[in-house]
Amino acid sequence: MITQFRLKKSQQVLNIILLAFFIIFYSYTQAQQSIWQFEYPEKDTIYTDNTSIFFGGNVKKDGKLFIQGENVKIYKTGSFLYQFKTQPKNINSITAQFIIEKDTFSRTFYIFPQKTKLPKAIAKGDVKIVQITPAEAEWLQPGNILTITAEADKNSDLYFFNAKVKLKKISVSNSIATYHGLYKINESDTNNIKLLTGFNILNGNKISFSAPSTLKIKSTSEIILGKTIGNYAYMMYGDGDDRLGGAKMSYLDTGINVQIIGKYNGLYKVALSPNHSAFIPVDHIQIQNTNTEYPESLSANINVTPNSNFDQIKINLDKKLPYSSTTELDGNKLKILIYGATSNTNWITQLENLQSIKNIYYEQTENNVLTININLKTAINWGYDIHYDQNNLIIQVNHAPKSNKLKDLVVGIDAGHGGSNLGANGLSGVLEKDITLQVAMRLEKKLRKLGITTIMTRTTDTTLSMTDRIDYLKSAHPNMVISIHCNSASPLVKGNSTYYRYISFRPLSQYLHSEMLALGLDNYGNIGSFNFGLNGPTQFINALNELAFISNPEEEEKLTNPNFQDKMADAMAKAIKHFFKDFTSEKNN
C-alpha cells in the first residue's frame, strides 16, 4: 500500500513537473507568436520545385528581421515579405532571425525538392474514367454529344456507350494507356446506357470489366417542361464552372416556361430555339407535369409609354418566355431577345413625350427568336429592368437623373464582405471587410459634401449576402452603384483594377480606374464581362473597384493608412462627379 502510495505520489510530482514545463513552453511559443509570426511558408519543412519561395508574416514593428543574414524591410503594418530563390535538388536551409531589444529569436526552414508522385499502377481488369463530358449527367436527350477519356492497362480494349464505339488509344505511359472517344446520342438510344466496358487478356484468359457509371437517355418524344422559380433564376451560356460560376447570359423573372433537354452537373439544359440552348441551375427550375405551356408564342402589339422615372415597353405574349438582353456602347442600343416568340406585331405605339427611348423596332432574327431593338435618347444607358406583368413582357428603361446638378444624383456604395464574411487578409492580419467599410464611409462623407444622395449597403460590421445587397439596392433605385473590395493574389502582385459586366456600364469603371491610377497605384486593368454578383444587376449603372492588393505588404500599408484611404475616397468622388457631368449633357435637360 505504502509503496503504491509512494509511486502514486512520485507520479503526481512528475505530472506537475510535466505540466509546468508545458505551461512554460506554451507561454514561450505564444509570446514568440505575438512578437513574430510567419503566414507562409506554413511549415518549417518545405517540399517544392518552384524556383522561389516567399517568406511572409508580421513582426513587432520596433525589431529587426534578418533572413539568410539579409535585413528584411518591416512595413508600418508590421508585415514583411522576403523572396528566396531556391536551387532545386540541393537541400537548403534558411535561417530567420528576429532581434528585439535584447532578445534574439531564430527559426530554421528546410527546403527539399518535391517528391514526384509516380502514377499508380492499374491492375489488369481495372479501368478509370478520367473525364466524361457532359459531366455528371443524370439524363440526356438525343442530339447531345458525349466524350470520354479513360485509363486502363495498355493491352485493354475499351468500348463506350453500350459498346457502340471502340475507344482510341491516344497515349501510353508505363503500362497505362489513355483512351478517348465520342458518341452522338440518337433516337434509338433509349435505355440505361453502360458507359464504359472493356476486356484484356491475362494469362490467356479474357477478363471483361465495366465502369459503374450508367446514363439514362430520354426520348425526344418525351417533352419535358419547367418553369423558373424564385427571384434569382438565371441562364448561362455554357456549363463551364470556375470561381465565379458559368458565364451568365441573363437573369430571369419567375414563372418563365422552358423546355428541358438534359440534366447534368447540377444544371438543366434548356432549348431556347432551334439554334440556341442555355443552362439554368436545377434549383431555379420546377418541372411541370403538363404539356400545356410549351414555350412558344406569337407577339401581339407593343406599347411604349413614359413614366416618372422610366419609359416602359409592354410586349403582349400568350405566355412567359425566356429572354436575354445585350447592351451596346455606341449609339446606346439595348437589345432584348425573346426566345420562342414569333412576331405577329402589327403596330408599335410610341408616344411623343418619351425621355429615354428614341426608337424601338423588332426583327425576327431567327425562327423563334424575336429581337427588340431599342435606341436610347440618353447619353448613356442608365439601367433597365425586364420582368413580366401577367403575360406581358415589361421593359423599363431608366431616365437620366433630372438635371446635371449633383443634388439629383443618387449613388449606392457597397462595402464588400462584413460580419462573418471576412474577405481576404493582409500579412499583418488586417481584414478586407474592415478596409472596405472604412473607405466606403469616407466616400459617403465626400459624396454628401458634394450634395449627392448616398445609399449604403452597410455602415457597420454586419453580415450581408449578395442577394441581400442586390435586393436592397434594387429597392432603393440608385443611379449608380460602386462596390468596394480589396484584391488578393500571390504577394508580389499589385495594382488597382475596376470591373464591369455590361459594355454600356463600362465608362463608370474607366473613370474610377483612371482616378485610382492617378494616386500612383499600379495598373492591374479594367476588366469586362465580369461575373461578379454586384456587376449583375441591369437596373443601375454599376462598377466594382478592387482598390489594391491587401496580399501585397506595400499596398496593405497604403490600404490601412488613413491618409491614403482619404485619397482613394477623393479619387472615387472625383470620378463619380466627372462621370455624372459628362453623361448628363444638355440633351437630357
CA atoms of 153 and 123, how far apart (whole Å) = 7
Question: Which 8-state DSSP code applies to residue 550?
Answer: T
Q: Is 416 in the site for Zn ion (CB under 5 A)?
A: yes
Q: Tell me the closest approach of the beta carbon of residue 421 to Zn ion, in angstroms.
A: 9
The Cβ of residue 268 has, within 10 Å, a number of other Cβ atoms equal to 22
List the beta strands (DSSP E) in 390-451. 392-398, 410-415
Nearer to Zn ion, 416 or 491 (CB): 416
CB contact at 8 A, 169 and 205: no
Task: Give whichever of 30 and 463 is closer to Zn ion, judged by the CB atom.
Answer: 463
Q: Total residues at the site for Zn ion (CB under 5 A)?
A: 3
CB 502 within 8 A of CB 516: no
Phi-psi region of 203 (alpha: psi -120 to 50; beta: other; left: phi over 0): left
556-575 residues in contact with Zn ion (CB under 5 A) are none
Per-residue contact string for residues 458-487; x = within reach of Zn ion by CB under 5 A: ---------------------------x--
d(CA 201, CA 158): 12
Identify which of residues 485 and 506 has a Cβ nearer to Zn ion in the complex.
Answer: 485
Nearer to Zn ion, 433 or 567 (CB): 433
Find out whether 536 and 563 touch, Cβ atoms under 8 Å.
no
533 binds Zn ion (CB under 5 A): no
d(CA 564, CA 397): 38
DSSP states of 141-161 as a string? -TT-EEEEEEEEETT-EEEET
- Binding window for Zn ion (CB under 5 A); candidates: 164-172, 371-379, 420-428, 525-533: 420-428
- State which residue, 320 or 485, has the beta carbon closest to Zn ion: 485
Q: Is 423 in the site for Zn ion (CB under 5 A)?
A: yes
Q: Pick from 475, 472, 534, 467: which is nearest to 500 by CA?
A: 534
Nearer to Zn ion, 248 or 485 (CB): 485
Q: Which residue is nearest to Zn ion (CB)?
A: 485
CB of 462 to Zn ion, least distance (A): 16
Minimum Å distance from CB 483 to Zn ion? 9
Minimal distance, residue 425 CB to Zn ion, in Å: 11
CA distance 76 to 79: 7
Question: At closest approach, how far in Å is the CB of 417 from Zn ion?
Answer: 6
Pick between residue 263 and residue 485 the one whose CB is nearest to Zn ion.
485
Instruction: Tell me the window of 72-80, 93-101, 413-421, 441-449 that interacts with Zn ion (CB under 5 A).
Output: 413-421
Region near Zn ion per CB under 5 A, out of 127-135, 166-174, 230-238, 415-423: 415-423
- To Zn ion, the closest distance from the beta carbon of 449 in angstroms equals 27
Q: Distances in Å between the alpha carbon of 389 and those of 256, 318, 369, 385, 574?
A: 12, 12, 20, 12, 40
In the complex, minimum distance from the CB of residue 242 to Zn ion, in angstroms, rounded to a whole number? 16
User: Which residue lies nearer to Zn ion by CB, 277 or 428?
Assistant: 428
State in angstroms the smallest separation of the CB of 388 from Zn ion.
Answer: 34
Shorter beta-carbon distance to Zn ion: residue 151 or 414: 414
Tell me the CB-side half-sphere exposure of residue 453, using CA atoms within 13 A: 11
Interface with Zn ion, residue 577, by CB under 5 A: no
Nearest approach, Cβ of 250 to Zn ion (angstroms)?
Answer: 25
Q: For Zn ion, which is the closer residue by CB, 317 or 435?
A: 435
- CA-to-CA dists, residue 499 to 189, 380, 459, 519, angstroms: 46, 17, 23, 18
How many CB atoms sit inside 10 A of residue 107's CB? 15
Taking the complex as a whole, the smallest distance from the CB of residue 429 to Zn ion amounts, in Å, to: 16
Q: CA–CA distance from 538 to each of 251, 256, 387, 467 (Å)?
A: 9, 19, 12, 14
Give the binding site for Zn ion (CB under 5 A).
416, 423, 485
